[in-house]
Structure 1
Amino acid sequence: MSKLVAALPMYDWPEVRGDVDAQWVRLRDAFRQKGIDAPEAMVRSNRDLPPVPGGIRDGAGKLIAPDPATLPPDEFDFHQLWLSPALLFGQTCWGPMELGLARHVQVIAQPSYDEFEGGQGELYSSALVMLADGGPSVLSPDDGKAVIPLDLIRGKRFTFNNPDSMSGLLGLTRDLEAIGEGLDIFASRSESGGHRSSIVAIAEGRADIAAIDCQSWALAQRFEPAARQVKVVGWTARRKGLPFITARTTSPDVIASMREAIAELGLEGSVAKQPVVERVG
């Protein structure tokens, strides 16, 4: 039995859990064909993570996360997953990567977003959504540049999924800065806890606008009833999507084999060689 762990938590909505499991089976079998000891199933809670007595430490011995065994077992702390020394394969966001995670993990590849409006290869963008008013939604621009309707969003209540989210907060912040504006354009800012929750907040009148990454927006249009009450009013600029990662201790040979397997499955937008970290701002 493998002592390693894997997870694909970023788009693991209950309605598509079977599809996410099937994606892992494809990856697992492809990895095993390369001689990699891939785990049978993915982890989806803190209880599934192997204990690390004394807590998780970096290469210098500094404590960077508590022992997963000390956390609420039914919850799932993504940072614990990402920092686990047993992580063979996972997915994260470039927001946490820029804010320090990149020091502790290695990037394997960037998945493709070609099938989603707002995506192109390894790049994705976020839909700016507001309450529907009967008018049409704004289509994603072909050039991938930001479409920010300043007059429409000025003075509105902005909600975002998490403070370290590139798609929900950091990307929009940078697009506003590029045109001489900032988050103070909004009357208020609140944290919803997730893209789906942001959409529900807008539909229920608790917020006015949110930035929803294009894959989450596609899922919402299929499975979240509240999405029928909102529309797209703009888009953030395209940026690198959510990278596949592994522990900092994973060997170069294993990483090379995983990259080969991902490329053979056609799941990648690009196969990483060195992580490229955009500035934090």
Structure 2
Amino acid sequence: MIAALPMYDRPETTAALDALWAGVRDHLGYGPRHLTRDLAYDAAWGREDLLLGQICNLPYRARHRDDVTVLGAGDHRLPDTPAGYYTSVFIVRAEDAPRGLAPAALGRFAYNDALSQSGWGAPLAALTARGLQFHTTLRTGAHADSMAAVATGRADLAAIDVVTWRMLERWDPLAAQVRVIGRTGLSPAQTFVTAKTNDPTPLRAALQAAIVGLSPDHAETLQLFGFATLPKSAYDIPLPPSPTGTCADTLQSAAI
């Protein structure tokens, strides 16, 4: 039996995530003593022994609907955003911000992975709705690396999960070199899940209680202030095409 919450796990959030899991375990009355951190972030999603995990809505929609049961999503208290949803922010270098989104899209777009809603699916939909398209793409592997690519001039535009962006603003010096120039549409935030064989009811109650019981400092660190149960229809979003159309970069790969 494992519990893994890798989506916002970084050195600055370790203690807060440990406290969240301890709260879930205490309310539930069982579970592993510690979060699993020695697996790739996506390795737990298909495991039958997954007690509690967290998944981006795009890999859930594309690959894992039959593997996990959705418990709900966090309330991050984002402006103009219902509980359980989030957006991505478009970022460019500070000196390029006055030019706006359309010229930036003509340059190189840095995305973390083809199976990322926040880094690829949502920004693609936002540009398409504006009659724009990405002309050149660069796969980076992580949101922080996408931001770094923009800050250092290897890319001209990126889209970052807004919760990750808040963390990068707080802890990554490179964030000072970029500016937000727009946002994507709404989609379900990083989603708490459990293996299909588990009863979701006690897990949902324990998770909600643990989130409510977080100290103000831990809640602020995780940008996690509540819990929302979303309708199944919230995840009925069309799958995006691959950034490059190559076999190495299709929706058969997995990422946040």
Identity %: 30
Deviation at 1:93, TM superposition (A): 0.3
Corresponding letter in the other structure for 2:202:
S
Structure 2 counterparts to residues 56-75 of structure 1, below 5 A: none
Aligned match of 1:111: 74
- In structure 1, the partner of 2:21 is 24
Question: Scaled by the length of structure 1, what TM-score is found?
Answer: 0.74
Give the residue type in structure 2 aligned to 1:170. Answer: G
Distance in 2, Cα, partners of 1:179 & 1:243:
28
Cα deviation, residue 167, structure 1: 0.3
Map of 1:271 onto structure 2: 229
Change in 2 beyond 3 A, CA 1:117/1:21? farther
- Other-structure match for 2:206: 261
CA–CA distance in structure 2, aligned partners of residues 135 and 103 of structure 1: 42
**Structure with greater contact order relative to length (CA < 8 Å, sep ≥ 6):** 2
Q: Amino acid of the residue matched to residue 106 of structure 2?
A: G
TM superposition score normalised by structure 2: 0.81
Q: CA deviation at 1:242?
A: 1.0
**Residue identity matched to 2:60:** M
Are the equivalent residues in 2 in contact too, given 1:109–1:271 (CA < 8 A)?
A: yes
Superposition pairs of residues 27-176 of structure 1, within 5 angstroms: 27-32=24-29, 37-46=30-39, 76=40, 78-114=41-77, 116=78, 119-133=81-95, 149-176=100-127
* Aligned amino acid, residue 228 of structure 2: S
- 1:234-249 aligned at under 5 Å gives the runs 234-249=182-197
Structure 2, unaligned runs of 5 or more:
213-224, 241-256
Give CA-to-partner distance per residue, 1:222-265, whole Å, 9 cap, x none. Answer: 11111011110111112111110111111xxx311111223334
Residue 201 (str. 1) matches residue 198 (str. 2): no
Greater helix proportion:
2
C-alpha distance in 2 between matches for 1:100 and 1:172? 20
| Contact 1:262/1:268, CA 8 A, preserved across alignment | no
2:136 is aligned with 1:191: no
Q: Give the match's secondary structure for 1:80.
A: coil
CA offsets, 1:58-117, max 9 Å, x none?
xxxxxxxxxxxxxxxxxx2x3321111110000000110121211211101111121x45
Contact 2:102 2:132 in 1 (8 A): no
CA distance in 1, matches of 2:231, 2:31: 21
Match of 1:73 in 2: none
Counterparts in 2 of 1:239 and 1:274: CA distance versus 1, 3 Å: closer
2:9 pairs with 1:12: yes
Provide the rounded CA distance (Å) in 2 between the counterparts of 1:273 and 1:5.
26
Q: Which runs of 5 or more structure 1 residues have no equivalent in the other structure?
A: 47-75, 137-148
Contact conserved, 1:118 with 1:124, CA < 8 A, in 2? no
Alpha carbons of 1:134 and 1:208: their partners in 2 closer, same or farther (altered >3 Å)? Answer: closer
Q: Check the 8 A contact 1:109/1:272 in 2, yes or no.
A: yes
